Structure 1
Amino acid sequence: MDIILLIVGFILMLVGIVGSILPVIPGTPISWLGLIVLYLAPSIEFDWTFIIITGVVAIGIYIMDYIIPALGTKKFGGSKAGAWGTFIGLIVGILAPIPFGILIGPFVGALVGELAFNQTQGPQAIKAAFGSFIGFLASTFMKLFATFVFLGLFCWKVWEFRSLLF
């Protein structure tokens, strides 16, 4: 049972890392579920404090994931059209067979959103698109960092209880 829970928890960790980049998968909460699954293994002591603290962090990051891009867009004078353009551009960038599409897509999407749907003029549209892009990058970095920290905690617990697990 321990090995099955260990494998499922590790898979959830990997899905969480992928989800920290892809907007359709809630990366940090899925990585947190990987920690919970690990703690369900009978050989590992269940630590409520650890689970609660990491859960609060996961929920906080999940909420901030929606706030940070909006703040970046607003800070640089962008609109909701720019924020939506960032999201749509990210999806297109992921699906498009171009190098660095995941980075180019959000910026181009925000720019198109500002120019086409918000009627923002040249330099202001570029500034707003840049703000939206910076917000997206900051949010993605935060999620990616958190999921790697969760993976590190997962590996540390497995290493700590390796004699009982294997």
Structure 2
Amino acid sequence: MLPLYWTLVAVMVIGIIGAVVPAIPGISLIAIAIFIWGLVNGFGSVSIPLTVAIVFLLAGLGVDFLATYYGAKKAGASKWGQIGAIVGLVVGILGLWPALPVGGPLLGILVGPILGAIVGEFIYRRDLKLAAKAALGIVVGSLVGNLIQGVLAIVTVVIFLWTTFPNVS
């Protein structure tokens, strides 16, 4: 039982990293690990951490959206910039970046939204300076959202450890 516990905790640590780094599952991975522990030991042992994980997962989605939206709005981004960032993210993950020998998809995830937002804004406004400012707002908002999700993920894992560790050892 102890090896499973520490394996699930390791998965949760990956979930914490994923809450901050795009394209790696975050709080959802933590919730799955808690759910697995509940399957093995009964859900009564994880009712609080599982509830917290689900609430924080939903809150994290909302925070991510609102932070990106607020950053874009503060920088004066249009819907074209936001759409461009989303398209850039998809192209960055699936496009040419994965062909790179080192860090391809991760680099695509980081660079794709920036370039996509710039292209989207430039198509809409025909002003490269405004396009770059809007793209920066989208990226900063997204980063703030990721940091908040990271904090929510850490709190979720701490609650899991606090409620379950005394019964494991």
Q: What TM-score do you get using the length of structure 2 for normalisation?
A: 0.71
Amino acid at match of 1:32: A
Q: Which position in structure 2 is the counterpart of 1:82?
A: 81
Name the CA distance, whole Å, in 2 between partners of 1:83 and 1:19. 22
**Residue-by-residue CA offset, 1:87-109 (whole Å, 9 max, x unaligned):** 33344177355798344433222
Q: Which position in structure 2 is the counterpart of 1:139?
A: 145
Call closer, same or farther: CA 1:14–1:53 in 2, change over 3 Å.
closer
1:148 Cα deviation after fit: 3.0
**2:166 corresponds to which of 153, 160, 163:** 160
Q: Which position in structure 1 is the counterpart of 2:120?
A: 113
Q: Which position in structure 1 is the counterpart of 2:156?
A: 150
Decide whether the 8 Å contact of 1:73 with 1:128 is kept in 2: yes
Structure 1: segments with no counterpart, 5+ residues: none
Call closer, same or farther: CA 1:158–1:49 in 2, change over 3 Å.
closer
Amino acid at match of 2:85: T
Name the CA distance, whole Å, in 1 between partners of 2:79 and 2:58. 24
Deviates more, 1:95-104 or 1:139-148: 95-104
1:16 Cα deviation after fit: 3.0
1:83 Cα deviation after fit: 1.4
Q: Which position in structure 2 is the counterpart of 1:58?
A: 57
Task: Report the RMSD for the aligned CA atoms in angstroms.
Answer: 3.3
Amino acid at match of 1:22: P
Amino acid at match of 1:46: S
Query: Which has the higher relative contact order, 1 or 2, with Cα contacts under 8 A spaced 6 or more apart?
Result: 2
Indicate yes or no: 2:29 matched with 1:22: no
1:115 Cα deviation after fit: 0.6
Q: Which position in structure 2 is the counterpart of 1:72?
A: 71
**Secondary structure of the equivalent of 2:40?**
coil
Name the CA distance, whole Å, in 2 between partners of 1:131 and 1:120. 18
Call closer, same or farther: CA 1:41–1:73 in 2, change over 3 Å.
same
**Secondary structure of the equivalent of 1:78?**
coil
1:47 Cα deviation after fit: 4.9
Name the CA distance, whole Å, in 2 between partners of 1:39 and 1:150. 15
Q: Which position in structure 2 is the counterpart of 1:40?
A: 39
Deviates more, 1:7-16 or 1:118-127: 7-16
Name the CA distance, whole Å, in 2 between partners of 1:147 and 1:103. 21
Name the CA distance, whole Å, in 1 between partners of 2:161 and 2:52. 18
Structure 2: segments with no counterpart, 5+ residues: none
Alignment size in residue pairs: 160
Q: Which position in structure 2 is the counterpart of 1:128?
A: 134
Name the CA distance, whole Å, in 1 between partners of 2:53 and 2:43. 17
1:19 Cα deviation after fit: 4.0
